[in-house]
Chain A
């Protein structure tokens, strides 16, 4: 938000002098880029960059489906992207304008092709896993030394959660993340679109519901860093950002990220160009800029998420490329699973279940 305001003021200030400067409008997740890259883009290309942020796929999707969002580049997660492609929300990329496209990593491209056939509409920006953000010291104080700090049992067994409630637990407010992991815990197929299977997630979630402090998809970064909570179900890089903020604040809070040994959800955030983008040419320039090996490496070094750019890996810092929480080892990768989008009738079942879990109604 701060970033958004500063760029906005900068743009307003610029706007008076160069009223007809070319603009690119980018809509990305909050806390998801090194701000220096934004000014670097403006310096290199002379294009004015307007950078806005969101923290939920639902908000982005509604803008895409309504049309006329005015954005040139948006960053939906792959399962949402797939549905929006079907709805006709995006335009095909013109690869001839993307000279850096050969930097992309085939391992990730093969996986994202499940959502976007031939990667025709999108490029991968970041990918990661959904797991546990932990204040390990506090968790062990509450649950003892042998606390299951890398297992779904930590957050889905009521007896663990009852004790953890004292120090605070946040869950992502994202049914498309929490329901698959609950199904995984039950030994069901996490990618199931069968309403009867999905309904099974209700029991365990309702049982731990009284001990969940809050459902939120971005506040947990600060809450973990401040020591306000001891467990968050969150996205890998966000937890690692919390770890760094706590270290910077030097407040004695130590945060760690663990994927689930039972298997974690793997997700991909994809950059795409809306069908009605005002400046598709500028959008391609932005995508090409992001795909530059050094720029992409700078972004990953800053936000602690892995990227889908093979060439960037030589510029990654050791605490990024060498950290298995960010770039998991072979063994963990095998254990990761992905989620395809819910059909709309099933989506209603999922949302209704989620409302029930959150509000008890």
Chain B
């Protein structure tokens, strides 16, 4: 009985917070837009029986997504931004996590605190702060002009560069923490053994440390990639009007076109695109858990 409750809790959680909202979105994506409150007419009624239900399914909103190049371009551009920023986050996050794991024991809680500290301020305020740093009259340009490195202010705000900076900055802790956890658990004597057997420090790093932190790297990459893909706030505040991301397209469908059904179809497709990496992530986590047992 106790076991049943233990299993039931996460299932109820998933049912209420994932499956039910998803079904509602799916239902809206199969409806027609209308000038009403709420602005769509359901295409089918659950009550009419299962056959009536299946015969009435209408995928016109999904077909519509293929008729305009805007949508796949936006998906691709989001994918590109998410992949590049995940890579950059890894590039910056790994050395930080490595440094933390190699730091003297008594320093580690402080370093950990410093990584988590930014979360104490609202995410929105931190992104706004970047607007102040990156703008034409902003701190960065003022500093560079003052130090004589540049003569003309750099245009960074409202470009894709600013979006990358924003995403990398925001999601860096999600990369550092799992990698740090993996490196922290690593047995230091393995490196000594590798060096005893003739590895240089660099080779030991590549052959021993990196493979052993693999799970941390994978976890970190997914934790950055998945939210970055659907990101809306960072591109709309830091990006220019040329920054095309699916989150923004979804906003336009929802707010400007008042077309909830198409907006829902965009969301369902985004979920399908993300479900592949999410499932890979799950499998990786499971394998890791099994390996530990």
Q: Which of A88, A215, A228 contacts B36 (CB 8 A)?
A: A88
Not counting A65-B38, A89-B37, A356-B70, a sample of 11 additional A-B residue pairs whose C-beta atoms are within 8 angstroms of each other reads A65-B37, A214-B241, A215-B241, A344-B257, A348-B259, A351-B252, A354-B256, A358-B241, A358-B242, A360-B242, A361-B73
B68 within 8 A of A: yes
A87/B259 in contact, CB under 8 A:
no
Instruction: Please give the distance in Å from A313's CB to the nearest CB on chain B.
Output: 36
Give the docked Cα–Cα distance between A352 and B37 (Å): 23
Report the 6 A-B pairs with minimum CB-CB distance, sorted nearest first.
A358-B241, A58-B255, A351-B256, A65-B39, A351-B257, A359-B244
A214/B158 in contact, CB under 8 A:
yes
A361/B244 in contact, CB under 8 A:
yes
Question: Secondary structure at chain B's binding surface: helix, strand, loop or mixed?
Answer: loop
Residues of B within 8 Å of A344, CB to CB, are 33, 35, 257-259
Closest to A214 in B: B158
Give the docked Cα–Cα distance between A288 and B112 (Å): 57
Residues of B within 8 Å of A46, CB to CB, are none
Within 8 A of A (CB), among B126-147: 136-137
Q: Which of B38, B240, B258 contacts A61 (CB 8 A)?
A: B258
Closest to B77 in A: A361
B98 within 8 A of A: no
B241/A87 in contact, CB under 8 A:
no
A66 within 8 A of B: yes
Residues of B within 8 Å of A58, CB to CB, are 255-256
B254/A62 in contact, CB under 8 A:
yes
B68/A352 in contact, CB under 8 A:
yes
Q: Which of B136, B241, B249 contacts A228 (CB 8 A)?
A: B136
Closest to A58 in B: B255
B69 within 8 A of A: yes
Residues of A within 8 Å of B73, CB to CB, are 361
- Contacts A87-B35, A361-B69 given; indicate if A347 touches B241 (C-beta within 8 A): no
- Interface size range on A against B: 20 to 34
A348/B257 in contact, CB under 8 A:
yes
A-B contact pairs, 16 of them (CB 8 A): A59-B255, A61-B255, A62-B255, A65-B37, A65-B38, A66-B38, A83-B35, A87-B39, A88-B37, A344-B33, A344-B257, A344-B258, A358-B241, A359-B241, A359-B242, A359-B244
- Interface size range on B against A: 20 to 34
Task: Give residues in B with beta carbon < 8 Å to A.
Answer: 33, 35-39, 68-70, 73-74, 136-137, 158, 240-244, 249, 252, 254-259
A118 within 8 A of B: no
- Contacts A351-B252, A354-B256 given; indicate if A67 touches B38 (C-beta within 8 A): yes
Give the docked Cα–Cα distance between A159 and B28 (Å): 47
Q: Which of B137, B240, B249 contacts A214 (CB 8 A)?
A: B240
Residues of B within 8 Å of A275, CB to CB, are 37
Q: Which of B36, B158, B257 contacts A347 (CB 8 A)?
A: B257
For A56, A62, A214, A275, the residue with the greatest tally of chain B CB atoms inside 10 Å of its CB is: A62
Residues of A within 8 Å of B240, CB to CB, are 214
B252/A87 in contact, CB under 8 A:
no
Residues of B within 8 Å of A64, CB to CB, are 37
Closest to A66 in B: B38
Residues of A within 8 Å of B70, CB to CB, are 352, 355-356, 361
For A86, A228, A348, the residue with the greatest tally of chain B CB atoms inside 10 Å of its CB is: A348
Within 8 A of B (CB), among A75-112: 83, 86-89
Residues of A within 8 Å of B249, CB to CB, are 355
Residues of A within 8 Å of B241, CB to CB, are 214-215, 358-359
Closest to B245 in A: A359
Closest to B35 in A: A87
- Contacts A61-B258, A355-B252 given; indicate if A87 touches B36 (C-beta within 8 A): yes
Give the docked Cα–Cα distance between A88 and B249 (Å): 27
Residues of B within 8 Å of A361, CB to CB, are 69-70, 73-74, 244
For A83, A213, A352, A355, the residue with the greatest tally of chain B CB atoms inside 10 Å of its CB is: A355
Residues of B within 8 Å of A351, CB to CB, are 252, 256-257
Give the docked Cα–Cα distance between A201 and B70 (Å): 19
Contact with B along A336-361 (1 / 0, CB 8 A): 00000000100110011011101111
B37/A347 in contact, CB under 8 A:
no
Give the docked Cα–Cα distance between A161 and B27 (Å): 47
Contact with B along A210-249 (1 / 0, CB 8 A): 0001110000000000101000000000000000000000
A278 within 8 A of B: no
A148 within 8 A of B: no
Instruction: Please give the distance in Å from B192's CB to the nearest CB on chain A.
Output: 55
Instruction: Please give the distance in Å from B231's CB to the nearest CB on chain A.
Output: 16
Instruction: Please give the distance in Å from A181's CB to the nearest CB on chain B.
Output: 18
Give the docked Cα–Cα distance between A358 and B239 (Å): 12
Give the docked Cα–Cα distance between A186 and B194 (Å): 76
Instruction: Please give the distance in Å from A234's CB to the nearest CB on chain B.
Output: 17
Residues of B within 8 Å of A214, CB to CB, are 158, 240-241
Instruction: Please give the distance in Å from A167's CB to the nearest CB on chain B.
Output: 11
Instruction: Please give the distance in Å from A116's CB to the nearest CB on chain B.
Output: 16
Residues of B within 8 Å of A89, CB to CB, are 37
